[in-house]
Amino acid sequence: MRSLSRDEADLLSSLEALAPEASLPGFDPLGGGLGARLLILLEKPSGLAHENAVVSPDNGERNTVRLLLERAGVPRTEVLIWNAVPWWNGTAKVTAGERRLGADALRKLIVSMPNLRAAALAGRTAETVWQQSRAGAVPVFVSAHPSPNVRAGYPERWNAIPGIWREAYEASVLA
């Protein structure tokens, strides 16, 4: 398990200042952090991320993100899993104001990732915030969000997630 770097701690402090009334879970200590080649951008942290104080593929129902990463063959140490709206405020609902703040936060994050070579955007909120942020010029791959609702209602989209994440990872390695 790695410790937060000074750059990571500074970035998290600056992101906390953007929404001081909300909780900002930190980076996965088993993940790639700001040195990651691949960014997987989800939508908004869960209550479990808030409780655990980290955005981790181990959070969530049945460790879904971790299992999808494994199916995709993406090493956890090569990826930063983050959220388009990185703050938890007690609800999964995402407002237009949160998306705007998320775009500001995403710009700060991207600038702080010197090895970033590809991004996988998981869900509509991630796509919208990425577009609003005018974030980096890296290859972008779009997948469904790994939620139970997608799994139940759109199994073909759900089953496509690991392949899309694998493509994004391969692009990050080849870049």
Stretches where the chain sits below pLDDT 50 are none
pLDDT digits (tens, 9 = 90+) for 68-106: 999 999 999 999 999 999 999 988 899 999 999 999 999
pLDDT of 36: 97
pLDDT of 146: 93
Domain-located, residue 146:
yes
The number of distinct structural domains making up the chain is 1
pLDDT of 61: 62
Domain-located, residue 99:
yes
pLDDT of 60: 67
pLDDT of 56: 85
Domain-located, residue 30:
yes
For residues 141 and 120, the answer to whether their CB atoms sit within 8 Å is yes
Q: Residue 150 burial by CB count (10 A; 0-12/13-18/19+): exposed, middle or buried? A: middle
Q: What is the CATH number of the domain that holds 139?
A: 3.40.470.10
pLDDT of 11: 96
Task: Say how many Å lie between the first and final Cα of the chain, rounded.
Answer: 27
Q: What is the domain extent for residue 63? A: 6-174
Closest to 12 measured CA to CA, from 90, 96, 99, 83: 83
Domain-located, residue 1:
no
pLDDT of 17: 94
Integer-rounded Cα Rg, in Å, for the chain is 15
